[in-house]
């Protein structure tokens, strides 16, 4: 009985979405709130060095460093990398190609499923990932060491709250096979099917 009610509600929600009626009312954004978000983004990207082409004083931009971290020590499927990072396959291919030329990454067919391609860190790639981790820790420590204990606790608590709120803002709702589903921002229909 409960399953039937849920299906009926999902069907009604799906009909509202496809008929142009929305589940929530879009509210006009407060311009001062928009300015605050933009200011925060500028300060964070400047402080962590995300804008330049030498993230953490290495010879690569932040997107390449982030991809090394996402691949991790055990490898990662390309479709999972696309979904986690919210990027399209063309962009992922270009970044992976750059990392392959630097001999940090190898891309090959999965040994389990020949339809799936995986990225693996080479020995050099693993060493670079470890160095990026070390430098990232040092950057975090440099941010915290300038503050008193009270301010460190306040900053890390605020960061935790911001992280939770940003993750909540990344959830979207869409219709899939006649039912309403929540999905992370950046995922695509092909990610859901694979």
pLDDT at 172: 73
pLDDT at 78: 95
pLDDT at 106: 97
Going residue by residue through the chain (194 aa), what tens digit of pLDDT does each one get? Answer: 444 545 555 555 555 555 555 555 557 888 898 899 999 999 998 888 888 778 888 888 899 999 999 999 999 999 999 999 989 999 999 999 999 999 999 999 988 888 999 999 999 999 999 999 999 999 999 999 999 999 999 999 999 999 999 988 887 766 666 666 666 555 444 444 33
pLDDT at 30: 86
What phi and psi values does residue 171 have, to the nearest 5 degrees? -85, 130
Of 68, 62, 59, the residue nearest 48 (C-alpha)? 62
What phi and psi values does residue 90 have, to the nearest 5 degrees? -65, -45
Question: Domains in the chain, start-ordered, CATH in brackets?
Answer: 56-146 (1.10.10.10)
The backbone region for 26, taken as left when phi is positive above 0, alpha when psi lies in -120 to 50, beta otherwise, is beta
pLDDT at 176: 66
pLDDT at 28: 82
């Amino acid at each position: 009985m409960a399953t039937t009610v849920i299906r009926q509600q999902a069907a009604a929600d799906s009909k509202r979405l496809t008929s142009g009626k929305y589940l929530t009312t879009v509210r006009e954004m407060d311009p001062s709130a928009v300015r605050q978000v933009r200011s925060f983004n500028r300060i964070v990207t400047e402080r962590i060095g995300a804008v330049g082409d030498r993230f953490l004083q290495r010879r690569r931009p932040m997107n390449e460093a982030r991809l090394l971290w996402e691949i991790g020590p055990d490898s990662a499927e390309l479709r999972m990398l696309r979904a986690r990072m919210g990027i399209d396959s063309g962009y992922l291919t270009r970044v992976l190609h750059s990392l392959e030329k630097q001999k940090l990454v190898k891309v090959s067919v999965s040994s389990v499923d020949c339809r799936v391609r995986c990225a693996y860190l080479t020995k050099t790639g693993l060493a670079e990932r470890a160095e990026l981790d070390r430098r990232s820790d040092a950057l975090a420590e440099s941010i915290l060491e300038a503050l008193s204990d009270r301010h460190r606790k306040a900053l890390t608590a605020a960061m935790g709250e911001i992280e939770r709120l940003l993750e909540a803002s990344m959830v979207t709702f869409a219709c899939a096979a006649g039912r309403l589903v929540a999905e992370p921002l950046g995922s695509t229909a092909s990610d859901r099917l694979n």
